[in-house]
């Protein structure tokens, strides 16, 4: 997809999974609709992705895009509310230090790879459509999943970033100013509310955006490993105390006292 997206295909993708009352229990799309959305590049046949293939895919897709490209897409998403533009920064941030590795059995996470967290699903096909739905709906959900990384960055490589306008940078500055000036005990839900008036968005979109800034190393607990410097293995991504709220690692450890990592902002957005 480039800057224009086929509206009918997008509607087919959206209504396959979502209704006014939320997730659908079962997705049923007519053959004709599926064929249309597939031709438009928004829906896909299910594919079998082994762990080894997923790792290769994530790494190859990472090599197919530049930091500047995903940053331009991200900045272009903030005022336009093009959530599909927003996603790839999160995937790229996780992928930068993503290691070549093979599946090993872990004692603590029996069904997940201890390095990347991929679930043991070799015998089941992966539904790429739900991943693409999440990408368009919220800016992605599973930025740390190698299958999603491979897919998301492959899509990003085909996209044309909108010309850089002052709007995106200004919005991001306002978001970072807000995050940097919260009371020391402020939590992620406080931050989510605080940035609500700053750009067109709903709660889930703001949560995703905050998660992406965590993957970038911008909103983190500086005493814990971040994806900016390393690749924190799945097994080491500990839960924060009292966090029943399903925020991803590492942003789940953020509190107001940590503010914004200036080094990480300089790395991703040197022009801010
Ligand atoms: Zn793995």
pLDDT tens, position by position, 20-69: 888 988 878 999 999 999 999 999 998 999 999 999 999 999 999 999 99
Contact between residue 72 and residue 127 where contact means Cβ atoms under 8 Å apart: no
Average pLDDT over residues 139-144: 97
Quote the percentage of the chain above a pLDDT of 90: 80
Reply yes or no on whether the pLDDT at 209 is more than 70: yes
Which is higher by pLDDT, 211 or 20? 211
State the distance from the centre of ligand 1 to the C-alpha of 24, rounded, in angstroms.
30
pLDDT of residue 122: 62
Q: How confident is the model at residue 2 (pLDDT cuts 50, 70, 90)?
A: very low
What is the Å distance from ligand 1's center to 71 Cα? 26
Distance 148 CA to ligand 1 centre (A): 13
- Beta-carbon count within 10 A of 26 CB: 6
Check residue 120 and give its pLDDT: 78
* Ligand 1 midpoint to CA 216 (Å): 20
**201 C-alpha vs ligand 1 centroid, how far in Å?**
33
> How many angstroms is it from 68 CA to the middle of ligand 1?
27
The yes-or-no verdict on residue 1 having pLDDT over 60 is: no
Distance 232 CA to ligand 1 centre (A): 12
In whole angstroms, how far apart are CA 90 and each of 61, 107, 127, 255? 13, 29, 20, 20
Supply the pLDDT for residue 3: 46
Residue whose C-alpha is closest to residue 94's, from 157, 143, 155? 143
Q: How many angstroms does the Cα of residue 159 sit away from the middle of ligand 1? A: 28
Q: Which of 259, 262, 140 is nearest to 207 (CA)?
A: 140
Give tens-digit pLDDT for 229-261: 999 999 999 887 766 678 999 999 999 999 999
CB neighbourhood size of 80 (10 A)? 17
Ligand 1 centre to CA of 103 (Å) is: 6
pLDDT at residue 109, as a whole number: 63
Q: Which residues have a beta carbon within 5 Å of ligand 1, which is an ion?
A: 113, 115-116, 118
At 242 the pLDDT is: 66
- Ligand 1 center to 99 CA (angstroms): 9
- pTM score: 0.94
């Amino acid at each position: 997809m480039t800057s224009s997206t086929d509206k009918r295909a997008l509607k087919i993708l959206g209504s396959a999974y979502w209704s006014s009352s939320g997730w659908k229990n079962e997705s049923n799309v007519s053959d004709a609709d599926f064929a249309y959305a597939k031709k438009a590049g928004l829906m896909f046949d299910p594919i079998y992705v082994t762990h080894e293939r997923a790792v290769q895919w994530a790494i190859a897709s990472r090599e197919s895009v530049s930091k500047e490209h995903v940053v331009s897409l991200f900045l272009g998403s903030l005022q336009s509310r093009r959530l599909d533009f927003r996603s790839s920064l999160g995937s790229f941030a996780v992928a930068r230090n993503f290691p070549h590795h093979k599946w090993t059995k872990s004692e603590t996470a029996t069904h997940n790879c201890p390095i990347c967290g991929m679930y043991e699903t070799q015998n089941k096909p992966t539904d790429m459509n739900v991943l693409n739905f999440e990408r368009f709906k919220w800016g992605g959900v599973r930025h740390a999943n190698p299958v999603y990384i491979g897919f998301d960055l492959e899509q990003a490589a085909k996209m044309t970033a909108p010309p850089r306008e002052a709007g995106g940078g200004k919005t991001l500055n306002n978001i970072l100013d807000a995050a940097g000036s919260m009371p020391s005990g402020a939590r992620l839900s406080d931050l989510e509310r605080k940035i609500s008036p700053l750009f067109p968005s709903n709660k889930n979109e703001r949560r995703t955006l905050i998660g992406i800034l965590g993957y970038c190393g911008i909103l983190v607990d500086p005493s814990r490993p971040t994806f900016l410097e390393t690749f924190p293995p799945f097994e080491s991504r500990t839960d924060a105390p009292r966090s029943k709220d399903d925020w991803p690692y590492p942003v789940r450890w953020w509190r107001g006292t940590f503010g914004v990592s200036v080094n990480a902002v300089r790395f991703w957005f040197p022009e801010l």
